[in-house]
Amino acid sequence: MADPKLAVQLTEPLTRLWQRQTAPLILELDLTEGIAEGPAADPLSAVLAMRRTRLSDVAEGLRRARDDDRVRALVAKVGGGRIGLARMQEVREAVAGFRESGKLAVAWAETFGEFTHGTLPYYLATAFDRIYLQPSGSLGLTGVAVEQLFLHDALAKIGIDFESAKRYEYKTAADNLTERGFTAPAREAAERLAASVAEQISAAVAERRGKTLSDARALLDRGPFLAAEALAEGLVDALGYRDEVYADVRKEAGPDAILQYVVRYQRAHALAQRARRLPNPRERHVALIHASGPIRQGRSSRGPVAAMGSDTVAGALRSATSDERIRAVVLRVNSPGGSSVASDVIWREVVRTRAAGKPVVVSMSDVAASGGYYISMAADVIVAQPGTVTGSIGVIMGKPVLAGALERAGITTDSVAEGSRATMLAPTHPFTADEWDRINAWLDAVYREFIEKVAAGRRMGVDRVHEIARGRVWTGADAAANGLVDELGGLRTATEIARRRAGLPRAAPVRAYPRVSPLDQLRPPESSESRPAAASRLDLGFAGGWGPAWQLAARAGLPPYGPLMLPGHWAIR
């Protein structure tokens, strides 16, 4: 006679497995540690990124869950400031789509800033049906600030001067070294940037928390709020600890519901789908090419200083252009700019891809400014989030003058040179009048070419482009109003446009491109147009877009990646 205990031991694992396959699901998201932008570029990065939440997994997972009867609810932990505004807006769109199915979406936070900035995490939370806050937490709804340190006087005290020139008055990358505060144009641009972001946040608070727009805007002036105050103001729905939040969600999802992270849910379904469906090597699809980081010449790098290399991105575009299966390209840009020459290399390949009959749609992430806008401007369509930082169409050049500091330290220099401008970039002396003539001619040429290419790509007059360029930074919302952006939306909007323009069905796949195997990473590419040519490389240092002067630029405080760089350090909080 069979042993009943043995039978239970044998069948219990199968029963648990069956329950996990059929039980209702509560999907979880942890948004406190940030969201990765694109796929890993190499095997090592893939291993290191295995536990990181990727934006594509969140968006596709919530889209899939919307139509999955097993999924009953979504619960997300929010807080921290590690997600850029534009990516937050993409997550908000994905959550809104999930909620359209009638399923519950709950956000909870231990605190929205511990009496520090918490405006953006709270803005993200407003996309959910309910917001819970830990009783000991606070809500740092403190508005939007653009701050910058100015080092002019500190440098002067040690005998360092800084000389720079720019095109034009809004290009403020060197202002922290040459000024004592915001110039009038810089203040104007910063004020409008802050106002645009505040308008977007106020509109979301008003819509989702049942307030008037003026009342929502007034709340930005009254924070931060204690937890009880946030509840009284209707900014959160309940105060509770994690266990209390999850208990409430389980009451509505059902006692037998099990938890699963959105990323695990999405990857499991994607793997199962690939296993069920035989690959079609001739299937037409959209290529998704990521262009992330400061722009420099050469290959993209990973490591302590990640950067976008023109050889890598241009190689990916060339390979996509020659690949018959690819009918359109979505270029995902997240870059503050850098080298003007490297930016122009990528711009040229965008033009060539379009000329080959393949639509190119740019999807701007958190930042696509200066050189980041340069590589975008030739696309058929530019899509940005309202909170994307973009524009900054301008150019800058400069160097520190260390003569005073060296003299104080008792250091002298001497040189032997062939060529009247051989020591032009040396920090030991100011620019001469003749050298300034060369610099200004170069700045004029780079700026003129920039705005002429913007005018051609955006189908605008050069004078109109100059009016809205001049180095000025815009939010995506204002850039759209000024014609620098075509549509407001995220990566999903961009891929839909790409499919439509290429005449592909709505279900046509979008694939990260190029997919480089571990073997391809190790062996040399067959040619400059093969997929392995678009691989990145490990880089423990960097050479910047200033050419041999990159170290000088870095020491001076200028962005080392080059003259088409977004001015200042832009973090909206």
Residues noted as catalytic: 171, 370
DSSP per-residue string spanning 355-387: HTT--EEEEEEEEEETHHHHTTTTSSEEEE-TT
Q: How many whole angstroms from its chain centre is CA 504?
A: 27
Report how far residue 459's alpha carbon sits from residue 244's, in angstroms, rounded to the nearest whole number: 56
Per-residue three-class SS string for 58-121: HHHHHHHHHCCCCEEEEEEECCCCCCCHHHHHHHHHHHHHHHCCCCEEEEEECCECCCCCCHHH
Q: If you search the block for the tokens 């940030």, which residue do you land on?
A: 34
Give the containing element (helix H, strand E) for 248: helix 242-253
Report how far residue 452's alpha carbon sits from residue 377's, in angstroms, rounded to the nearest whole number: 11
> 421: how many CB neighbours lie within 10 A of its CB?
12
Which amino acid belongs to residue 441?
A: A
Residues 139-158 as b or e (16 or more Cβ within 10 Å = b): bbbbbbebebeeebeebeee
DSSP per-residue string spanning 148-191: ----HHHHHHTT-EEEEEEESTT--TTHHHH-SS--HHHHHHHH
Residue 115: which residues within 8 A CB-CB, separation 6 or more? 138, 140, 224
Q: If you search the block for the tokens 């001619």, which residue do you land on?
A: 441
Residue 366's nearest CA partner among 128, 572, 80 is 572
